[in-house]
Amino acid sequence: MNYEKPKGTYDLLPGTTEKWQFIEETARLIFRDYQYQEMRTPIFEHYEVIARSVGDTTDIVSKEMYDFYDKKNRHVTLRPEGTAPVVRAFVENKLFGPEYAKPYKTYYVGPMFRYEQPQAGRQRQFHQIGVEAFGSDNPAVDVESMAMAMDFFKQLGISEIKLVINSLGDKESRAAYRQALIDYLEPKAEELSEDSKRRLHENPLRVLDSKDRKDKAIVADAPSILDYLNEPSKAHFDAVMQMLDELEIPYVIDQNMVRGLDYYTHTIFEIMSEAKKMGSQSTICAGGRYDGLVEELGGPETPGFGFAMGIERILLTLEAEEIIIPEINEIDAYVVGIGADTNLASLKLVQAIRNFGFSADRDFMNRKPKAQFKTAAKLNAKLVLTIGESELLEGIVNVKNMASREEKAFKLTDIYERFSEVYDEMTTIMFD
Ligand code: ATP
Ligand code: MG
């Protein structure tokens, strides 16, 4: 019997989840500024949705899918990425209709699943924050998207990053490049890895994405896709670069970058951490344009642009840059109950305080007053309400401002009926 978590997964415990919430909340705020709205799709999809979009010959589909047959023999898979499901939902819900604003901008946050060799920054269940914009082929959408990602990292305090871009051009440019690449790779076929040998004719662009060391050396001298862009593709890429320059967003071009998914066209990009302490999994954000994908899944001709960021890798980047995430760990009031008879009164007090919209906690373990005060201090409680058996008989409670040490007795009914006022009175500075 194995009662341990599956390989490549993690339990995210309190202490860590606060950091996740901070990252997610920062993303939500930025996305709102850019007018992206959240979408939530199922964790599993029909296998075909993913295979068709991401591509049969990619590592993701050919090796990394958590796919299975359900009880009615439907071939389904845990989602390995977010774009294909969102595109599927975009088509299925007819979000291309005239009643929706264009471009249709949406984001998602959630777990993705890939059967990979686990290591730092690479899990089998990992989490992505991703965005998609449907319906515009304007290069300004590409640039706005990349700017949004850069903004997000800046907001988190991350600065040691670089933006890497390339273009895969349109279908025609890719076909021309495909042939040039085959011509270059064929004479060297024997030296390629088994995977790359197979892909050489199936999907030669995949060879450029190989992680094999020998393959990497061979593709280093491969022809550049940028030399095969036709006029419209070149114009698009030139416009993207010009707009990045205008916005003073620094970038580098990597002519060999192709990305691990087949659906990309035109602009593709990655954002990498350059922090010294960052391990080898340094790509924290990746995406690009996917102008044929909506049609591929049965929708009308609709251009698209999106990216995804790995939350685990963002956390590693924050650690590598030694950025401290602000800890929000304080409560408005802590109730110290002295003696067993105050159990019910303590319960009523915290409930009353919470009902007024404040945060409150109390002791449940019958601990000594000193230990309770220690907890209140650890929780950074603004006020401590103390009630002992004699106070209970008199119907009063002692309220103390922990910062100013100011104390005052209130009637229990004051707390039950007008705690907001008590809170204001006790937290307005009463000393010089
Ligand atoms: P890599 O080359 O690192 O395998 P990828 O090209 O497969 O990345 P994408 O599919 O573009 O990555 O996913 C976007 C982002 O999601 C990555 O840049 C990374 O931050 C994160 N990511 C992808 N796979 C994993 C994983 N197995 N574990 C953790 N994060 C991941
Ligand atoms: Mg991968």
Q: How far is ligand 2, taken at its centre, from the CA of residue 312, in Å?
A: 14
Among protein residues, the one whose CA lies closest to atom 11 of ligand 1 = 286
pLDDT in tens, 3-31: 999 999 999 999 899 999 999 999 999 99
Ligand 2 centroid–CA 427 distance in Å is: 52
Whether the pLDDT of residue 209 is over 90: the answer is no
Using the mean position of ligand 1's atoms as its centre, give its distance from the Cα of residue 82 in Å.
11
Cβ-Cβ contacts under 8 Å for 389 (sequence gap 6 or more): 338, 339, 341, 342
Residue 133 tokens read as 């914009």
pLDDT at 429 over 80: no
Q: What pLDDT is attached to residue 196?
A: 93
Determine how many CB atoms are found less than 10 A away from the CB of residue 426: 20
Which residue, 25, 288, 334, is CA-closest to 133? 288
- Is the per-residue pLDDT at 421 higher than 70? yes
Segment 339-348, tens digit of pLDDT: 999 999 999 9
Is the pLDDT assigned to residue 198 strictly greater than 80? yes
Which of ligand 1's atoms lies nearest the C-alpha of 59? Answer: 7
Which residue's CA is the nearest one to ligand 1's atom 23?
310
Looking at 247-304, list the stretches that DSSP marks H as alpha helix, in order from N- to C-terminal side: 293-296
pLDDT single digits (tens) 143-158: 999 999 999 999 999 9
Instruction: Please report the atom of ligand 1 found closest to the CA of residue 211.
Output: 2
CA angle 393/396/402 to nearest 5° reads 135
Contact 271 CB / ligand 1 (< 6 Å): no
199-223: average pLDDT:
91
Nearest atom of ligand 1 to the alpha carbon of 81:
10
What is the tens place of the pLDDT at every residue in 347-403?
Answer: 999 999 999 999 999 999 999 999 999 999 999 999 999 999 999 999 999 999 999
Res 78: pLDDT: 98
Write the DSSP string, 82-110: SHHHHHHHHHHTTTTSTTS-SSEEEEEEE
- The sheet that has 37-38: what strands, in order across it? 37-38, 104-113, 125-134, 304-310, 283-289, 265-273, 161-167, 252-253
CA 379 – ligand 1 centroid, Å: 37
In the sheet with 383-387, reading across from the earlier edge strand, the strands are: 360-362, 333-337, 383-387, 396-401, 407-411
- Rounded to the nearest angstrom, the distance between the alpha carbon of 310 and the centre of ligand 1 is 6
Q: Which residues, at least 6 apart from 280, have a Cβ–Cβ distance to it below 8 Å? A: 121
Domain boundaries 331-425, CATH class: alpha beta
The pTM assigned to this predicted structure is 0.91
Q: Is the CB of 402 under 6 A from ligand 1?
A: no
d(C-alpha 63, C-alpha 65), whole Å:
6
DSSP label of 331: -
Ligand 1 atom nearest the C-alpha of 122 is 28
Say whether 31 sits in a helix, a strand or coil. helix
Q: Is the CB of 30 inside a 6 Å radius of any atom of ligand 1?
A: no
User: Average pLDDT, stretch 202-219?
Assistant: 91
Per-residue pLDDT tens digits for 121-177 = 999 999 999 999 999 999 999 999 999 999 999 999 999 999 999 999 999 999 999
Residue 85 near residue 49 (C-beta atoms within 8 A): yes
CA–CA dist 233, 172 (Å, integer) = 9
Please tell me the CATH superfamily of domain 16-170+230-321, with its number: Bira Bifunctional Protein; Domain 2 (3.30.930.10)
CA 268 to chain centroid: 19
3-state secondary structure 44-74: EEEHHHHHHHHCCCCHHHHHCCCEEECCCCC
Ligand 1 near 385 CB (within 6 A): no
Nearest CA to ligand 1 atom 9: 286
Q: Where in the chain is the domain with CATH 3.30.930.10?
A: 16-170+230-321
- CB count, 10 Å around CB of 429? 9
pLDDT digits (tens, 9 = 90+) for 228-257: 999 999 999 999 999 999 999 999 999 989
% of the chain with per-residue pLDDT over 90:
91
Start and end residues for every CATH 3.40.50.800 domain found in the chain = 331-425
The yes-or-no verdict on residue 280 having pLDDT over 90 is no
Buried b (16+ CB within 10 A) or exposed e, 200-239: beebbbbbbbbeeeebeebbeebeebbebbeeebeebbeb
What are the structure tokens assigned to 179, written together?
A: 């042939």
Q: Is 132 annotated in some ligand binding site?
A: yes
Residue 98 Cα to ligand 1 middle (Å)? 34
Instruction: Read off the pLDDT band of 1 (50, 70, 90).
Output: confident
pLDDT (average), residues 284-309: 97
pLDDT for residue 262 is more than 90: no
Please give the distance, rounded to the nearest whole angstrom, from the Cα atom of residue 325 to the centre of ligand 2: 28
Quick check: 207 and 199 in contact, CB under 8 A? Answer: yes
Q: What is the pLDDT of residue 428?
A: 86
Pocket test of ligand 1: the residue of 65, 113, 283 to mutate, having most ligand atoms within 8 Å of its CB, is: 283
Residue 431 has pLDDT above 60, yes or no: no
Mean pLDDT over the full length of the chain:
95
**pLDDT of 430 strictly over 70:** no
Provide the H-helix boundaries in 253-332: 293-296, 311-320
pLDDT in tens, 179-193: 999 999 999 999 999
Mean pLDDT across 62-88:
98
What pLDDT score does 420 carry? 97
Mean pLDDT of 57-62: 92
